[in-house]
A = this chain, B = another copy of it.
Amino acid sequence: MSPNPRSAPRRERARAATIDEIKQTALALMRERGTVEVRFTDIARVMDMTPPALYRYFADRDELVSALIKDAYEGLGEAVAKARAEAPPGDIAAAWVAAGQAYRRWAHEEPQQFALILGMPLPDYAAPPDGSTSEAAGRAMAQLSSLFVEALHQGRLGPPRIREVHPAVELCARIKHEQHEVAVGPAHFQAMMHAWAALHGFTSLEANGHFAWMDPEARDALFLGQLRLAAEAAGLPVPA
């Protein structure tokens, strides 16, 4: 064992650390400038490197952005999952509020990342080829779906306030059900989508500054109202 047997992994770790530093620097610059645009030149300058050096780690700028998008998907998913896990166990209403607040808070704190994954898709970014077209959609649905399942098991899932489920929607629900992505019936599937849309709408408008004329306290209250309304319509226990 003349050299270090972990020498190769060490180099890999250094590489991983550099990749991470690049991404973190890119995020910091995005936050600083309030844009999703990011210049290789700036990243290099902050990192005390020359721009071409970055090409050892990312083939081009799009590849960096793709990596940032992937991270953002995970970041949002984790934030929501963590909030749900930290809510009082068994309390569906609290879990729904916690998840919604996490979604909103993440969007508010990371508007650039939020725009990256849920705003207009980049022209050339291809979703990771591992299946799911939109990972964020998948995660959101999974989080929501499990909430409904938990409520069902507790016998606290009421009928959603939906007049009738259109056959096409029912078909979609069945497909999702067979893919084990959604474990509830068609009516609750539709209710889930409505709840997600309402949550996302408020979040998106607020994150993009269209509620800036409102008092923060009013925004908070309004958001809670939106969550209550969605829960009520979906047949979930209504938060206090």
Are A218 and B172 CB-contacts (below 8 A) given A119-B120, A229-B233?
Answer: yes
Specify which chain B residues have a CB less than 8 angstroms from the CB of A190 in the assembled complex. 222, 225
Known contacts A121-B208, A168-B217, A171-B215; 8 further A-B pairs (Cβ under 8 A): A35-B123, A118-B204, A120-B208, A161-B229, A168-B215, A194-B225, A197-B201, A201-B202
Tell me if B221 and A169 are in contact (CB < 8 A).
Answer: yes
A209 to B133, CA, bound (A): 9
The distance from the CB of A163 to the nearest CB of chain B, in whole angstroms, is 7
Bound together, the chains give a CA A225 to CA B186 distance in angstroms of 13
- Would you call B162 and A225 a contact (CB within 8 A)? yes
In the bound complex, residues from chain B placing their C-beta under 8 Å from that of A233 are 229, 233
Chain A at the B interface: mostly helix, strand, loop or mixed? helix
Contact yes or no, A134 B212, CB < 8 A: yes
What would 21 A/B residue contacts be, using CB atoms closer than 8 Å?
A115-B119, A119-B120, A120-B207, A120-B208, A133-B213, A134-B209, A134-B212, A134-B213, A161-B229, A161-B232, A162-B229, A163-B225, A163-B228, A168-B217, A168-B218, A194-B222, A197-B226, A200-B205, A201-B201, A204-B204, A233-B233
Q: How many residues of A contact B (CB 8 A)?
A: 58
Closest to A216 in B: B168
Query: Which chain B positions have C-beta within 8 A of A193?
Result: 222
Q: Hey, which chain B residues are within 8 Å of A211, CB to CB?
A: 137
How far is B196's CA from A204's CA once the two chains are assembled, in angstroms?
12
Residues of B within 8 A of A36 (CB): 120
Q: Which residues of B contact A33 (CB under 8 A)?
A: 123
Question: Do B118 and A112 touch (CB < 8 A)?
Answer: no
Interchain CA distance A1-B34 in the complex, whole Å: 56
A214 contacts which of B172, B209, B212 (Cβ < 8 Å)? Answer: B172
User: A56 within 8 Å of B by Cβ?
Assistant: no
Residues of B contacting A123 in the complex (Cβ-Cβ under 8 angstroms): 33-35
Task: Give the CA-CA distance A46 to B122 in the complex, in Å.
Answer: 23
CA distance A225 to B118 in the complex (A): 22
**Least distance between A148 CB and chain B CB atoms (Å):** 16
10 closest cross-chain pairs (CB), A and B: A201-B201, A166-B221, A168-B218, A197-B201, A168-B217, A197-B202, A115-B120, A200-B201, A198-B198, A169-B218
A136 within 8 A of B: yes
